[in-house]
Structure 1
């Protein structure tokens, strides 16, 4: 991949930013990871200048509404593009076994048949098992079960053509069995529900989430080079980056980023951030 485009940075209850999801770009093609909680995915893609016709790979992590409901809109709009002869090739949808029927059911209950008629012909489901590797846009993507205590959830690691490595852990803390995917990785994408000093306000641990301190301490202990924190609360969005960096840099000494929606990270340059 050549760049990561942040489409959303908020948790499920965020209203001042979009729910956490992102796209990875290689050439003119994109790999979309999650789709947020509604049709906000369409405006996020438009703001990022990402045409639907150049999205042929989508991965959905789990069935929570802030990750999956935007997928209904992706299927509707790509289906419309297929019907109009503007979308070339097939849409490849990656998910774990239990998630496929959820995506199908949500779509068939809420979208006209003319949009989902392409299921199994040009909209193809690829079921990922724990440890499965797929070649997506020329890079090796290994999917894994994060062993969520809430809803079954998969995430992935990525080995890019140029040697850059990345680990995306979904929206829960890193458990011990995931450490081999994270140790000494170039880029770690990790949730941080709130500041550690706000834990009694936002109750991250009761929700199986982390604080900034937790995520940064983990990244420091595993020699991660670049750490991106997102899936946060949004109560003070204008000061989020400053306050999260201030706390995080006490515990992590690599390159720490707290992006806003529509921020871009370039690969393989470790410090390129626009």
Structure 2
């Protein structure tokens, strides 16, 4: 299994794209979130993916920097279904609030000749806390992250029979959800900024964490690989170096600070 970061930034970045990524397993693709616009199509192209090969999309929550790119994917899928060029079925997974919002926007913004494929060949699949299903050939468990803002879900995915990956969305891993992350080979966790710059970026008032916070959490949970995303972009050229320098003071396993378009074998 590989992960390709299409975007690594928070909601307000301009030097990179909003956080979203592709999980690839034996040729099957799962898009997790879509970023904040039709730049998702550019990111997919540059990363070497054909958007028409994507059959599975998971949306963590309704914030603009996660959902609007998915609306563009819906437009493209439905339009090319109507043209006879998008073959087969497609699936969008999220909780009911997100699915209702996407359905309403698509029905109002797209012509009926395209939107008629929603709930026909483009399936909206409702998830719930603790629900398990097979995604791209891997058993996947969804969990409510207990967000204090918009309702949001993360997931645990079995990479193979011995290893699992946990994605906790774009907020700090809640104590209620530590049971899911425990014993994970990989933890995908947000890190809004360096702890040394928390007075500049105010991560806590936005319910985000610093590199130090995320690393201390992963260390306590015994995570083998910690991947940080959803960051600020004010010093993007040096982000990897600076985040590694701070994070490795608090985390002794493998720390990953990917750039947009970076692919990592899990």
TM-score in terms of structure 2 length: 0.97
The answer on 1:136 being equivalent to 2:135 is yes
* Cα distance in 2 between the residues matched to 1:81 and 1:188: 35
Superposed CA deviations along residues 160-197 of structure 1, whole A, max 9, x for unmatched, are 23532100000000111111111121000000000001
**Residue in structure 1 matched with residue 94 of structure 2 by the alignment:** 95
2-structure distance, mates of 1:129, 1:52: 27
**In the alignment, what sits opposite 2:187?**
188
SS of 1:167's partner is: strand
CA distance in 1, matches of 2:263, 2:111: 35
**For residues 263 and 30 of structure 1, what CA distance do their matches in structure 2 show?**
16
* Corresponding residue of 2:257: 258
Matches within 5 A, 1:77-116: 77-116=76-115
Query: 2:78, 2:118 within 8 Å by CA — same for their partners in 1?
Result: no
Is residue 148 from structure 1 mapped to residue 170 from structure 2 by the alignment?
A: no
Structure-2 residue corresponding to 1:168: 167
- SS of the equivalent of 2:134 reads strand
1:178 to 2:177 alignment: yes
**C-alpha distance in structure 2 between counterparts of 1:71 and 1:42, whole Å:** 10
Is the contact between residue 28 and residue 54 of structure 1 (CA under 8 Å) also seen in structure 2? no
Q: Which residue of 1 aligns with 2:74?
A: 75
Q: What secondary structure does 2:96 align onto?
A: coil
- Return the offset for 1:245: 0.4
- Find the counterpart in structure 2 of residue 50 from structure 1: 49
Q: CA separation in 2, counterparts of 1:163 and 1:49?
A: 29
Match of 1:217, SS? helix
Runs (5+) with no aligned partner, structure 1: 268-274
Tell me the TM-score normalized by structure 1.
Answer: 0.95
Give the 5 Å matches for 1:114-129: 114-129=113-128
Q: Is residue 227 of structure 1 aligned with residue 226 of structure 2?
A: yes
In structure 1, distance between residues paired with 2:247 and 2:77: 40
Q: Kindly state the Cα deviation for residue 229 of structure 1 after the two structures are TM-superposed.
A: 0.4
Aligned residue number for residue 237 of structure 2: 238
Q: RMSD of aligned C-alpha atoms?
A: 1.0
How far has the Cα of 1:265 moved from its partner? 1.1
User: What is aligned with 1:31?
Assistant: 30
Secondary structure of 1:253's counterpart equals coil
